[in-house]
Amino acid sequence: MSWFEKTAEAPAHVPTEAIWAVCPGCKAYIAKDAWRAADKVCPRCNHHARLGCRERVALLTDAGSFKELNPEVSFNDPLRFTDSTGAYADKAKATIAKVGVGEAVLTGTAAIEKIPVVLAVMDFAFMGGSLGSGTGERILLAAEKAVALKRPLIIVSASGGARMHEGIVSLMQMAKTCAAIARVKEAGLPYFSILTDPTTGGVSASYAMVGDLNIAEPKALIGFAGRRVIEQTIKQKLPEDFQTAEYTLAHGFLDHIVPRKEMKAFLANVLRYAGF
């Protein structure tokens, strides 16, 4: 039998997953192990890729210190919303099964370099990190826990805005969460807001921008309406760096830009400065 007629043998090892990650910023191929070791920050262009809420918790808190709060609080469907792609309730349930968290924010008590805090971390993988009634309720309960325990409150935002499947109930969460944070401040406790890519819409217009410190990761998209919508409305071309963290800092809406690797140490330092 000639070589081109011989039956191919099965490979000795079949890879079960890709060995390369592709940077969303510069499109460079990076070995998966190196990508994970760098906490999904590109070593070539410094692009900070999106993290899941549990990845973020592991990055910011002391090992084993995070205790989840109110996992039973989930989405509501007051409008019984359905569109051409299906029912909102079915999509939400499928997202819960996929992401492994019951809402677009994960809340809990934790420690950052042994300093006790209450932490809320949004996950863009949950329906674009949209602000629904369950999201707002979890943030409210986290704020109340911070007041009860006399701990600082930290919220990490990653959101496309309000969850319009819930209509006006979703928009009400903007006022509800800001009122909850006001109670934290009235109790003399600090609230630190961390804005990651992206932080837009109703989240940027509410609790994400009212921190005692507003902190962002490098190059994070921060804004309200989308770039194209604004350009079509005002009939002007916007700057190339418009709605980046750097542009937002230069125009006075942020206090600091902190690289991902330095965020935990930065938070610990400002917490100590605040007397915790």
Helix, coil or strand: residue 223: coil
Q: What is the C-alpha separation between 230 and 200, in angstroms, rounded?
A: 13
Please state whether beta strands 29-31 and 20-22 pair in parallel, antiparallel, or not at all (unpaired).
Answer: antiparallel
Indicate the SS3 state at residue 29.
strand
Could you tell me if 264 and 59 are in contact, meaning their C-beta atoms sit under 8 angstroms apart? yes
Q: What is the predicted pLDDT for the residue at 18?
A: 75
Beta-strand runs (E) in 46-104: 67-68, 82-83, 86-87
pLDDT at 11: 59
* Secondary element (H or E) of residue 155: strand 153-159
pLDDT at 13: 57
pLDDT at 262: 98
Helix (H, G, I), strand (E, B) or coil at 173: helix
Which option is the CATH number for 50-273: 3.40.50.360, 3.20.20.140, 3.90.226.10, 3.90.1150.10?
3.90.226.10
Could you read off the pLDDT tens digit of each residue along the chain, which spans 276 residues?
Answer: 555 565 656 555 555 567 899 999 999 999 999 999 999 999 999 999 999 999 999 999 999 999 999 999 999 999 999 999 999 999 999 999 999 999 999 999 999 999 999 999 999 999 999 999 999 999 999 999 999 999 999 999 999 999 999 999 999 999 999 999 999 999 999 999 999 999 999 999 999 999 999 999 999 999 999 999 999 999 999 999 999 999 999 999 999 999 999 999 999 999 999 999
Enumerate the CATH 3.90.226.10 domain ranges in the chain, comma separated. 50-273
pLDDT of residue 8: 58
